[in-house]
Structure 1
Amino acid sequence: MSVPGNINTAPPPSSFDDDPDFYEESRWNKLRRRIVEEPLIPLGCALTCWALYEATRSIRTGDKERTNRMFRRRIYAQGFTLAAMFVGSIYWEGDRKKRKEFSGLVDEKKKKEKHEAWIRELEIRDQEEEELRRVRDRVREGQAKAREKVVEKAEGTAKQVNEKANEVNEKAKGVASEAVKAKDKAVEKVQESVRSSLEDSERRGPILSAAADLWQGRR
């Protein structure tokens, strides 16, 4: 299984690739084991190589007798090696069959263990991906709740601002109406004062009004 957006793209499994228990016997280990089991074969090969080397040296020096002797020794060494291989194959035949059967069982067991290990690792990866999915879901839920809180807070702030604006508008309307009333009162007072002045001037007569005007002009 894979989760969308998962960053884990490694090919499963990978934890057992470096484990030597999951692989067959190496060539070097096999060669070393065969040398220990049949030491006469490498000895015969070494003698053959030594005889050929000495024959080559004797050919260069021109010693024909030593050359013939070395060639005969090379034939003996080769025969000894073949005999060792034949005897060793007969001697180790039963053991090799048992080893082959044992190797087959071991390989089958290792394959089974490796398969089970792969399954365990896949299960662990599935659990990790499920945990990541739950974490992502929790994060998304937290983000959604945070957005809802921010929206609610913004709506509350906007409502308060609207209420304050309405209050200010009401106060402004009240102040405007009071200003209009005050203006009307001032106009009425001015009209009353003008009216009273006219009435006084009419009662005092033209002489008194002229004197009053002269007096006011002097002031």
Structure 2
Amino acid sequence: MNSAPPPSSFDDDTDFYEESRWQKLRRRIVQEPLIPLGCGLTVWALYEATKSMKSGDHVKTNRMFRRRIYAQGFTLLAMVAGSAYWKKDRVKRKEYNELVDEKKKKDKRDAWIRELEARDDEEKEIAAMKKRLAQARGAEEKRLSEDKARAVEAKIKSDTTGIVRSVLEPGESRRGSPLLNAAMKLWQSRS
């Protein structure tokens, strides 16, 4: 047999279950009107007793204090009777509130997890972007250093081709140069 309670006409009415403090007070006053009535009678009896004490009427003061006691007893009886009458509703409401709180906690936890996952994805994207930038920067530096090396080599080549020359012109050999042969003979003759 199914242990779930039968469906209620208030199941789809979220305002019935989720209510503010003022709505709850109003609902409780409507459900149990004898309790506020008893409280009002108690306050009225105390007020009248205070007035009669100030005027010095001891008989009326005693009568009002007795009425206050009767009003408080009436209020207590109304509370006990209302508590017994509305017990099942309070149990259902307590269960519902626990379920709502549990659902809110679960929703909050799920939202927090989604937020953490989004942050993690952003951090991974940022790390990947930094890695790509570092690789691109390294490749650019390598290309620039190679370009600089080529430029230096070209400059050295261009600077040295016009200025630095060999003692021997291209095509001359050591043995076939008459000037060199004369210089060598002169050197050998001195020694």
- TM-score, normalized by length of structure 1? 0.58
Larger Cα Rg: Structure 1 or Structure 2? 1
Distance 1:169 1:25 in 2: 99
- Count of aligned residue pairs for this structure pair: 151
- Output the amino acid matched with 2:47: Y
Structure 1 position 166 matched with structure 2 position 160: yes
Equivalent in the alignment of 1:50: 44
Structure 1 position 91 matched with structure 2 position 85: yes
Structure 1 position 79 matched with structure 2 position 73: yes
- Output the amino acid matched with 1:48: T
- Per-residue Cα deviation, 1:22-54 (whole angstroms, up to 9, x for no partner): xx9876665555444334323322332232222
Q: Which has the higher contact order (CA 8 A, sep 6+)?
A: 1
Distance 1:115 1:50 in 2: 51
Query: Residues 53, 142 of structure 1: CA spacing in aligned structure 2 closer, same or farther, 3 A cutoff?
Result: farther
Distance 2:144 2:44 in 1: 93
In structure 1, runs of 5+ residues without a counterpart are 1-23, 175-219
Q: CA deviation at 1:77?
A: 1.6
1:60 aligns with one of 45, 51, 54 = 54
- TM-score, normalized by length of structure 2? 0.65
Query: Residues 133, 36 of structure 1: CA spacing in aligned structure 2 closer, same or farther, 3 A cutoff?
Result: farther
- Per-residue Cα deviation, 1:130-174 (whole angstroms, up to 9, x for no partner): 112212212222222222232223222222221222124237x99
RMSD over aligned Cα atoms: 2.9
Equivalent in the alignment of 2:183: none
Distance 2:146 2:40 in 1: 93
2:118 aligns with one of 124, 133, 155 = 124
| Aligned positions of 1:124-143 closer than 5 A | 124-143=118-137
| Aligned positions of 1:5-16 closer than 5 A | none
Distance 1:43 1:25 in 2: 23
- Output the amino acid matched with 1:121: E
Q: Sequence identity, in percent? A: 55
Q: CA deviation at 1:94?
A: 1.0
Equivalent in the alignment of 1:111: 105
In structure 2, runs of 5+ residues without a counterpart are 1-17, 169-191
